[in-house]
Amino acid sequence: MKLAVAMFAALAMEWLTVPMALAQAPAQAPERRPERPGFQFGGAPEFDSPPVARNEREKQALAALDEMTKGQWHLNVTTREGRVLRQLAEATGAKRVVEIGTSSGYSTIWLALAMRATGGRVFTHELDPEKVKLATANFKKAGVDDLITIIEGDAHETVKQHKEPIDLVFLDADKKGYVDYLGKLLPLVRPGGLVLGHDMHRPMPDPRYIEAITKNPDLDTSFIMMESFGISMTMKKR
């Protein structure tokens, strides 16, 4: 009997010490999924598929875009963001697109694919001469160089040359400069036109820009692709 009581007491002490030990053990950080940088940042649904070319010219452009994703990432938009840019430009029938920040020309090529469908043109601004050379080569490789005008120089100054109505503006340059670009280009954006701003994740957005696109009663803004770098989509009301 005494032996049984002793065994029961020992088991009870063991049961009590297990949860105490667990409580005292340092909590392990949850396993983090590795983030995919660059063109694939933010991932995609498992049922997502690459775009399918409808003709040889589109096939050439898509092949060039795919090749760019295998090289250096120049702070471009992601592949999914690029597709959305093309879809928005083509769906709205945009014919005059102004892009601030060409970089290697990745987003520009997506926009140019829309311009081929609408009969329009992309005017893209870039400060860095080396980036201009790189983008020019990529445009030729993609077969869309006839749809793009590269404007080299400080975009804060070069945007002043635009005089005609603009259907879509895409901002992807110095984030603190978004407010200035908006002030200079918004008067030219047609009613129903779009202003898109890249990199909307904190702490990237300039609070002044966010206020300008969300507090103006003449504008309506949504934030899309926030699982990636994020895009502000601002419509100028009719």
At residue 95, does pLDDT exceed 60? yes
* Domain count within the chain: 1
What confidence tens digit (pLDDT) does each residue in 151-173 have?
A: 999 999 999 999 999 999 999 99
Instruction: Mean pLDDT check: name the lowest of 42-46, 185-189, 213-217.
Output: 42-46
CATH number of the domain within which 229 lies: 3.40.50.150
User: Is 222 part of any domain?
Assistant: yes
Determine the angle formed by the axes of helices 56-69 and 106-118, rounding to 10 degrees.
Answer: 170
Residues contacting residue 131 through CB under 8 Å, at least 6 positions apart: 74, 102, 103, 104
Cα angle 220, 224, 225; round to 5: 165
Query: How far is the CA of 206 from the CAs of 84, 186, 224, in angstroms?
Result: 23, 17, 17
Give residue 214's domain range.
Answer: 78-236
223 located within any domain? yes
In a domain, 228, yes or no: yes
Residue with more model confidence, 76 or 154: 154
Does residue 36 sit within a domain?
no
pLDDT per position as a tens digit, 8-26? 444 444 444 444 443 444 4
Task: Classify residue 85: in a domain, yes or no.
Answer: yes
Strand order in the sheet with 121-126: 148-152, 121-126, 96-100, 166-171, 189-198, 231-236, 219-224
Q: Is residue 69 part of a domain?
A: no
Q: Does residue 128 lie within any of the structural domains?
A: yes
Q: Does residue 59 lie in a domain region?
A: no
